[in-house]
């Protein structure tokens, strides 16, 4: 594989670089004046030091970060030292932080999750390490972020938010991160040299929340037009994100160019041949410029030149030809793939082409046209189906074991974590294994912290993961101390939502509270599981145990997030019991029974709204405020807010939303959505059924898209700070569910 110029620096000497603040705190001499001080370090550890200080404040001074040369075997770290003087050696700034993360979890007994932490439980003097802990990465590629992550995790975040996420990924051993922020900029600049004016291109580019699907060649224009200022500011942010990754020795994986062009490209560029791509769930797809034709190389060169000037260099580029139903038309796919890689190689010699393993892609025809030693397939389906043979299917092309543990950013708890532990090790140790990495690919990040922790750990464990032992250890550190009730709670969660089986799904079921109302509703998003994937009693028992955790451990951010999240899931699961009962009462024309059950449903949804309002990560307000903050005037602020609102609800216009079924694809139980979108829908529906029972008539049809679209175009503001006591509200859920 191509080596990254920053991440793979090598020197002949190893130098311990001790920050002055560390030396002062420990009362030991710094490196000045020592024999080794004349030699350059393996790399600059200061970006890791800065990340450590962001994480631990003054306790960061108790760590000495020591850069070491990376051997041919790959990244490693070691941790040692007495109390208050912890030494971490690592092969990159990010790997130094991975060593710190390992120390915090395995020695100090605290958790730094995504989200939630128990850092407040750290003692003033950090505990000693018994001996030396050493871990080596068992795969070179530790990749993170789905193409959809920006859209579903928040396209309007600021740099501090991205920086925090990157620091968390480094703490958990990730070394390659997809960076789509500002990806419209090279298209915008390059295409102005191929017959398009700036206004045409700004109208073609979608709003930031929808840009992921434009980059995948699925759609264009929706949520736009975008402004010149917005394009420039997003490019500046993307450049900062890429720069932060490089400073940590991580690889920014940038979008590559594979031929997406605006309408009319061939008419404006003699010799160009474009292939219409038809429809994608109701959207007209952008045309595909034939890579084997004479114009493709010129446009690709212009694209990569602009991209390098604005975002800097990289040796990994993500692109997916013919994603989700794209058509090659008369184009030879093998020759097209060869041309795409040739254009990439001309701009970035030796670069790796990253492609998503999804549905039937990449095809054998595509892989036959590329140099397979310069490809990395990030498999989105490793844990979903049985009978997978990636070595045979992909002809020995290097790939990363990956999982899409949620779709659209659903707040559902759980994942196929047992499959991960068993299957990753089995695939890695095959005699013909082409497995070279892991790929953390949920469609949105910032939920399911246990899944993130376990999945990223696969790359650093020399032996198979013992599923039960792992969750027991996780329970002990998650809240910063041993507790029998925490252990019992996480054992129930392990047995339930975190023991999803392969064969059909990689994510848990979503919420019926968030579904378009129907007495036969069994999912909220069209492509979600249609039934419970585990025994709902496991979550109820987990909640009962969490509510008994020792008071001293309940103050941690991790506990307060988890108790809300588990209570939310327990209450949500009850909806799948209630709805069939409501249906039975309605069909039996039992008006009183129907009304009693509807009151219970409404009370549960009202409680759900208050519950999720108690955690800042489950608030709609910041999502919308962030979107409006990017607008330069009221018109642009309104347009960006619609972009952010629609992606969560209607998703698009009526055709894609209703006919193709994109509505509620990104459903999530957030304060604001529960109270003003989901609960009113069900209230209106049940009222129509009630009237039908009283009058003996058919219920009145309701235009759900019109309701959702009106909300998406609205401008009501929502709280940006949480309200209510999370523990007390979780206790209310326990009472409502009659837990004992």
Please state which CATH class domain 512-736 belongs to.
Answer: mainly alpha
The yes-or-no verdict on residue 169 having pLDDT over 80 is: yes
Provide mean pLDDT across the span 43-57: 97
The yes-or-no verdict on residue 499 having pLDDT over 90 is: yes
Question: Residue 251 belongs to what H/E stretch?
Answer: strand 251-255
Please state at what angle helix 159-171 crosses helix 93-106, rounded to 10 degrees. 70
- Edge to edge, the sheet with strand 76-80 lists 63-67, 86-90, 76-80, 133-136
3-state secondary structure 378-418: EECECCCCCCCCHHHHCCCCCEEEEECCCCCCCCCCCCCHH
- Tokens for 165, please give them: 């996420």
Question: Residue 365 belongs to what H/E stretch?
Answer: helix 364-367
Residue where the block lists tokens 């100090």:
108
Rounded to whole angstroms, the Cα distance separating 673 from 666 reads 11
Which residue did the predictor score with more confidence, 41 or 561? 561
DSSP assignment string, 281-349: TTEEPPEEE-TTSTTHHHHHHHHHHHHHHHH---SEEE--TTTTS---TTS-HHHHHHHHHHHHHHHST
Instruction: Look at 321-330, 450-459, 561-570 and tell me which has the smallest mean pLDDT.
Output: 321-330
Query: What is the percent of the chain where pLDDT is above 90?
Result: 94
Provide mean pLDDT across the span 302-320: 98
Note the pLDDT of residue 39.
66
Question: In this structure, what DSSP letter does residue 358 have?
Answer: B
Rounded to whole angstroms, the Cα distance separating 178 from 400 reads 14
CATH superfamily of 20-136: Chitobiase/beta-hexosaminidase domain 2-like (3.30.379.10)
Residue where the block lists tokens 């800097």:
312
Four-point Cα dihedral 351, 190, 181, 649, nearest 10: -120
The yes-or-no verdict on residue 450 having pLDDT over 90 is: yes
Pairing label, strands 63-67, 76-80:
unpaired
Note the pLDDT of residue 739.
81
The yes-or-no verdict on residue 273 having pLDDT over 70 is: yes
Structure confidence at residue 40 as a pLDDT band (50, 70, 90):
confident
Rounded to whole angstroms, the Cα distance separating 108 from 122 reads 7
Rounded to whole angstroms, the Cα distance separating 619 from 296 reads 45
Structure confidence at residue 701 as a pLDDT band (50, 70, 90):
very high
Report pLDDT digits (tens) over 714-731.
999 999 999 999 999 999
Dihedral sign, CA of 515, 521, 522, 526? negative
Note the pLDDT of residue 740.
58
Rounded to whole angstroms, the Cα distance separating 206 from 223 reads 5
Report pLDDT digits (tens) over 358-406.
998 999 999 999 999 999 999 999 999 999 999 999 999 999 999 999 9
Cβ atoms within 10 Å of 294's Cβ, excluding its own: 12
Question: In this structure, what DSSP letter does residue 677 have?
Answer: I
Note the pLDDT of residue 31.
32
The yes-or-no verdict on residue 25 having pLDDT over 60 is: no
- CATH 1.20.120.670 segments of the chain: 512-736
Nearest Cα residue to 380 out of 498, 506, 558, 284: 506
- CATH 3.30.379.10 segments of the chain: 20-136
Nearest Cα residue to 63 out of 102, 9, 111, 35: 102
Residue where the block lists tokens 């307000």:
621
- Tokens for 560, please give them: 């307060």
Render the burial of 415-425: b for 16+ CB within 10 Å, e for the rest.
bbbbbbbebbb
The yes-or-no verdict on residue 14 having pLDDT over 60 is: no
The yes-or-no verdict on residue 244 having pLDDT over 80 is: yes
Q: Where are the alpha helices (DSSP H) in 460-613?
A: 467-478, 484-495, 536-546, 557-587, 591-612
* Fold category of 179-369 in CATH: TIM Barrel (3.20.20)
Instruction: Look at 30-39, 487-496, 512-521 and tell me which has the smallest mean pLDDT.
Output: 30-39
Provide mean pLDDT across the span 638-666: 97
Please state at what angle helix 467-478 crosses helix 557-587, rounded to 10 degrees. 120
Instruction: Look at 37-46, 264-273, 406-415 and tell me which has the smallest mean pLDDT.
Output: 37-46
- Tokens for 96, please give them: 């130094």
Q: Coil, strand, or helix at residue 219?
A: coil
Structure confidence at residue 41 as a pLDDT band (50, 70, 90):
confident
Query: What is the percent of the chain where pLDDT is above 70?
Result: 95
In 256-308, the DSSP E strands lie at 260-261, 274-275, 279-280, 283-284, 287-289
Report pLDDT digits (tens) over 203-241.
999 999 999 999 999 999 999 999 999 999 999 999 999
Pairing label, strands 86-90, 76-80:
antiparallel
Asked if residues 292 and 305 have their Cβ atoms less than 8 Å apart, the reply is: no
- Tokens for 79, please give them: 């941790």
655 Cβ contact partners less than 8 Å away, ≥ 6 residues apart: 282
- Tokens for 258, please give them: 């594979």
What average pLDDT does the chain have? Answer: 94
Provide mean pLDDT across the span 608-626: 98
């Amino acid at each position: 594989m191509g080596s990254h110029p920053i991440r793979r620096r090598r020197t002949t000497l190893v130098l311990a670089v001790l920050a002055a603040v560390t030396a002062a705190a420990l009362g030991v001499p710094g490196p000045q004046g020592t024999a080794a001080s004349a030699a350059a370090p393996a790399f600059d550890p200061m970006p890791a030091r800065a990340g450590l200080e962001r994480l631990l404040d003054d306790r960061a001074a108790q760590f000495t970060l020591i850069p070491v040369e990376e051997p041919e075997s790959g990244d490693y770290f070691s941790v040692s030292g007495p109390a208050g003087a912890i030494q971490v050696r690592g092969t990159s700034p990010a790997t130094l932080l991975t060593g710190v993360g390992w120390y915090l979890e395995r020695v100090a007994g605290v958790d730094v999750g995504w989200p939630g932490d128990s850092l407040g439980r750290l003692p003033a003097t950090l505990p000693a390490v018994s001996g030396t802990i050493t871990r080596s990465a068992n795969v070179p590629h530790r990749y993170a972020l789905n193409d959809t992550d920006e859209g579903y995790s928040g396209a309007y975040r600021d740099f501090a938010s991205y920086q925090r996420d990157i620091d968390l990924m480094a703490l958990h051993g990730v070394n390659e991160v997809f960076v789509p922020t500002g990806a419209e900029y090279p298209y915008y600049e390059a295409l102005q040299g191929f017959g398009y004016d700036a206004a045409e291109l700004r109208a073609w580019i979608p709003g930031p929340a929808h840009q992921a699907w434009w980059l995948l060649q699925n759609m264009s224009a929706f949520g736009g037009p975008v402004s010149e200022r917005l394009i420039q500011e997003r490019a500046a942010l993307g450049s900062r994100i890429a720069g932060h990754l490089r400073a940590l020795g991580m690889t920014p994986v940038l979008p590559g160019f594979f031929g997406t062009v605006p309408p009319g490209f061939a008419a404006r560029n003699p010799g160009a041949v474009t292939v219409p791509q038809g429809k994608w769930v109701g959207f007209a797809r952008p045309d595909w410029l034939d890579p084997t034709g004479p114009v493709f190389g010129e446009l690709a060169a212009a694209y990569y030149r602009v991209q390098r000037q604005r975002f800097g260099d990289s040796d990994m580029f993500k692109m997916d030809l013919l994603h989700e139903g794209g058509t090659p038309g008369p184009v030879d796919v093998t020759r097209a793939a060869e041309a795409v890689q040739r254009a990439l190689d001309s701009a970035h010699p030796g670069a790796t082409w990253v492609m998503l393993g999804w549905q039937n892609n990449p095809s054998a025809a595509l892989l036959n046209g590329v140099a397979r030693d310069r490809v990395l397939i990030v498999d989105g389906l490793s844990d979903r189906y049985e009978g997978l043979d990636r070595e045979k299917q992909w002809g020995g092309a290097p790939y990363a074991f990956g999982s899409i543990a949620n779709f659209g950013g659903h707040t559902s708890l759980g994942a196929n974590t047992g499959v991960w532990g068993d299957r990753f090790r089995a695939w890695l140790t095959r005699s013909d294994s082409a497995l070279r990495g892991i790929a953390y690919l949920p469609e949105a990040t910032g939920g399911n912290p246990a899944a993130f922790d376990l999945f990223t750990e696969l790359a650093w464990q020399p032996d198979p993961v013992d599923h039960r032992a792992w969750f027991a250890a996780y329970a002990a550190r998650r809240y910063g101390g041993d507790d029998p009730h925490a252990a019992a709670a996480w054992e129930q969660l392990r047995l339930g939502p975190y023991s999803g089986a392969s064969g059909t799904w990689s994510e848990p079921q979503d919420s019926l509270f968030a579904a378009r109302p129907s007495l036969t509703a069994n999912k909220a998003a069209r492509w979600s599981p249609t039934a419970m994937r585990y025994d709902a009693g496991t979550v109820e028992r987990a909640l009962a145990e969490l509510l008994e955790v020792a008071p001293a451990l309940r103050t941690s951010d991790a506990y307060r997030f988890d108790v809300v999240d588990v209570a939310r899931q327990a209450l949500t699961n009850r909806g799948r019991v209630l709805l069939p009962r409501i249906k039975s009462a309605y069909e039996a024309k039992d008006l009183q029974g129907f009304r009693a059950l509807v009151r219970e449903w409404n009370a549960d949804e009202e409680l759900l709204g208050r519950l999720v309002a108690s955690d800042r990560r489950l608030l709609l307000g910041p999502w919308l405020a962030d979107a409006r903050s990017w607008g330069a005037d009221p018109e642009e602020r309104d347009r960006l807010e619609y972009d952010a609102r629609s992606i969560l609800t209607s998703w698009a216009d009526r055709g894609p939303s209703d006919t193709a079924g994109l509505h509620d694809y990104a459903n999530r139980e957030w304060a604001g959505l529960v109270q003003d979108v989901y609960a009113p829908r069900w209230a209106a529906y049940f009222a129509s059924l009630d009237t039908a029972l009283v009058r003996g008539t058919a219920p009145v049809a309701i235009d759900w898209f019109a309701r959702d679209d009106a909300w998406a175009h609205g401008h009501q503001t929502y709280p940006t700070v949480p309200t209510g006591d999370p523990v007390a509200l979780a206790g209310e859920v326990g009472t409502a569910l009659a837990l004992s």
